[in-house]
Chain A
Amino acid sequence: MLYVLEDAINGILIGSIYGLTAMGLTVIFGVLKVINFAHGSMLMVGMYVAYWAVTLSGIHPYLALVIVAPVMYLFGYYLQDIIIKPIFKAEKDVREPITVIIVTTGVWYVLDNLSLLVFGPQYRSLQDNPLRGKMFEFGGMMLSVPKFWGFVIALVTAAGVYFFFQKTRMGRAIRATSLDRESASLMGINQYRIYNVAFGIGAAISGIAGAVLVPFNNVYPSVGVLFDIKGFIIVVLGGLGSLWGALLGGIIVGLIESIGPQFMAATWTEAIVYALFLVVLFVKPSGLFGEKYDW
């Protein structure tokens, strides 16, 4: 029983971090109505930024968030502004522009291979950081400290983004654009600027996720791919475009991955995750938290 509890807690912790990695994807989809295939690569870039920020300056990994989030925001903002926006404009009469999806796939390949060229194929992990290998131990249970803080950061990030969308002028403009881009434009909202900001926010969240992962995970050029597929499953589970859905979807996947192996081989948990994914698609295609009606 204690084992199950221990595994469940670990599942919730790592699951919320999965949710955090998927949150950027859901924000970008919610606003742009485009599945960003470069999402994993943005996470990879975020991990490298966090890794180098910590390694070069020796600061605490979570202090690196101060650097990583703004850097990634600008990265996302200009990635959208320079590379994706022109395609968007060319396709502006289409509701779900397929070409943009293909462009994001291109960005994925370019980023992954660029980092392979620049950083090399080596696996890197943060050495001697105050979080490496730290564990909470109580009553025979062991819980990872960096995962616990990852959980807290995921909650704070979700709440922060939610608050920003609900309460600020920019947030309202973003929500208006995501509901109906034509009407929003008629109301004087510059939709392309909103896209830039949304992409920037998505990238910044990926950066935060990267900084959370770096203390206990390796960094290498194709690391994003691992989280990419997981991210898609999570956002579909939770409902595409839903912030809290992403978090919940992540926790569900984390729980399955963490508790499952105690009853079966670890490889089977992947099958369960995909099976659940299919069931959700059949029963509630909009996901657990998704909007039933599409605007």
Chain B
Amino acid sequence: MKKNMALGKRILVFVAVFALLGMLAGAPASFAADKVVKVGNIEPLSGPSASVGQQGKCARDLAVEEINAAGGIKSLGGAKIEMVYADSESKPEKGVAEAERLINTEKVNVLTGCWNSAVTYPTTAVAERYGIPFVVPVSVADKITEQGFKTVFRIAAKDGWWTRDQFAFLKDMAKETNTKLETVAFVYENGDWGKGFAEQWKKLAEKEGFKVVLDEPYPSTATDLSPVVQKIKRANPDVLLLVSNAADAILLTNTLAEYKVKPKAIVGSGGGHADPSFLKAAAKNAQYVFDIVEWETDVGKPMVPAFNEKFKTKCGYNPAGESVDAYVAMYVLADALERAASLDPKAIRDALAATKLSSGPAMVASYDAIEFDATGQNKNAALCIVQINDMGKGLERLTVWPKSARHAGYTPVFPAPQQ
């Protein structure tokens, strides 16, 4: 009996402490409720995609620091943007749970995220149910903006456009260099993102007259990719199209080099291939690999060099296309909040839908204006293709396509040398 009482007392103390903590934590927020816009961000901050998640976080923080330093949201009395981060660990169920928590407990006004298409897809449904606007900087799966949702706005190009441009690039390069490309192999991570790409590749390959010699999904948690590489080697394709997360992109690139598999062109699809640590970890093996991205550090926009500089100072590495999307997303949001002049989710949503942003720091993007179509897709998002090569300054990513945006003085190596 005595023991039970002691236990009861202990529980009481616990409850009291938690209540106190809760009051302390809740207090400042409630006092300053009209001075703060809470933005909930769901990102893979740990787990297999932690690297990109952290980049997205750094890019967002950079934009928000600038916005807040410039006086916050003026139409809301100089309200500051407060970032609330939640970790999805790249798991859909985690993303959904965190969205519920951010909306119900943290009372966020807007959500952003989640990088992994597989996480974003179910998570946007939560936001839609509560009517909370959801800005998607990077998840590219088509279906995210094709659910008929009213609250979803995507900055990045959707995967239909990525695959379309990959094939347009192949066609243009084949013509430019007089290379015959007949066979193509698809190798992709076994998630929403990879499968979405593969489906469209299939249609495009048929349309463009390519012969598909391999169509291979692989688990992105694979610890050994040599069986997959063996399959690629035996299929001997002219072109190898990839969708990979970072860890598997590195493993795949290294294993391809080990088995001396040398297709005429290897084309990645952003994601793992665009991760700054990909270049470092795969190093020489990544030479001549092509990758499709929305943005590159050599984009010909006047504010880009200064942006590169401040991004590198804050985050310690070069910005990648996905970081730029995250950065731009924050400015799109700030612009919408400015016009909404209200924290009502509906007002913010309507303001987002009416976005026509063509000035300010958001214009580091490679295109000239951000506008959403009826589905919430950024109409103007454009893509370019880069090649990893060394122009005397170590391996770097050099824009090669479209030809009008090609890195000055660079001739793409196409097809890749066979030795």
User: A residues bordering B, Cβ < 8 Å?
Assistant: 3, 6-7, 10, 14, 18, 112-113, 116, 120-125, 127, 132-135, 142, 144, 216-218, 220-223, 225-227, 230, 254, 257-262, 265-267, 269-270
Chain A residues within 8 Å of B276, by CB: 122
User: Are B250 and A218 in contact (CB-based, < 8 A)?
Assistant: yes
CB distance from B77 to the nearest CB of A (A): 37
Q: Mark B232-261, 1 if CB is under 8 A from A, else 0.
A: 001000000000001100110010011110
* Contacting pair B46 A124 (CB below 8 A): no
Q: Are B50 and A222 in contact, with the CB atoms below 8 A?
A: yes
Contact A262 B227 (CB under 8 A): yes
Asked whether B46 lies within 8 Å of A222 as measured between CB atoms, the reply is: yes
By Cβ-Cβ distance, the 6 closest A-B pairs, closest first, are A121-B50, A261-B227, A266-B218, A121-B51, A125-B281, A122-B277
A217 to B233, CA, bound (A): 20
21 examples of A-B residue contacts, CB within 8 angstroms? A6-B230, A14-B223, A120-B54, A121-B54, A122-B280, A123-B51, A123-B278, A125-B250, A132-B254, A134-B258, A217-B223, A217-B251, A220-B51, A221-B46, A225-B48, A257-B224, A259-B227, A261-B230, A266-B217, A267-B217, A267-B219
Q: Which residue of B has the minimal Cβ distance to A133?
A: B258
B278 nearest in chain A by CB position:
A123
**Measured between alpha carbons, how far is A218 from B275 in the docked complex, in Å?**
14
User: Are A121 and B283 in contact, with the CB atoms below 8 A?
Assistant: no
Pick the contact of A7: B53, B230, B277 (CB < 8 A): B230
Q: How far is the CA of A10 from the CA of B285 in the complex (A)?
A: 21
Q: Which of B46, B226, B246, B251 contacts A10 (CB 8 A)?
A: B226
Q: How far is the CB of A238 from chain B (nearest CB, A)?
A: 18
Q: Which residues of chain B are near A223, meaning CB under 8 Å?
A: 247
Residue of B nearest to A113 (CB): B46
Task: Please tell me if B75 contacts chain A, counting CB pairs below 8 Å.
Answer: no
A225 to B246: give the CA distance in the assembly, Å: 15
Shortest CB-to-CB span from A75 to chain B, Å, is 22
Q: Shortest distance in angstroms between A181's beta carbon and chain B's nearest beta carbon?
A: 28
A218 & B51 in contact (Cβ 8 Å cutoff): no
With both beta carbons as reference points, the residue of chain B lying nearest to A219 in the complex is identified as B281
The one of B50, B228, B275, B277 in contact with A221, judged by C-beta atoms closer than 8 angstroms, is B50
Q: Provided the pairs A218-B281, A222-B46 are in contact, do residues A266 and B51 lie with their beta carbons within 8 angstroms?
A: no
Q: Is the CB of B258 within 8 A of A144?
A: yes
* A217–B282 CA distance with the chains assembled, in angstroms: 11
Asked if A266 contacts B216 (CB within 8 A), the reply is yes
Q: Please, which residue of chain A has its CB at the minimum distance from the CB of B54?
A: A121
Residue of A120, A262, A267 near B190 (CB, 8 A) is A267
Please name all residues of chain A whose beta carbon is closer than 8 Å to the beta carbon of B46 when the two chains form the complex. Answer: 112-113, 116, 121, 221-222
**A266, B227: Cβ atoms under 8 Å?**
yes
B-chain residues with CB within 8 Å of residue A112 when the two chains form the complex: 46
Residue interface mask B48-80, A partner, CB < 8 A = 1: 101101100000000000000000000000000
Contact assessment for A123 and B226 in the assembled complex, using a CB-CB cutoff below 8 Å: no
Question: Nearest A residue to B233 by beta-carbon distance?
Answer: A142
A260 and B218 alpha carbons, distance in the complex (Å): 12
Q: Establish whether residues B190 and A222, one from each chain, have CB atoms under 8 Å apart when the complex forms.
A: no
Which of the listed residues A6, A122, A267 has the most CB atoms from chain B within 10 Å of its own CB? A122
Residues of A with C-beta under 8 A to B247: 123, 218, 220, 223
Q: What is the CA–CA distance of A222 and B216 in the complex, to the nearest angstrom? A: 25
Q: How far is the CA of A254 from the CA of B226 in the complex (A)?
A: 11
Residues of chain B with a CB closer than 8 A to A10's CB: 226-227, 230
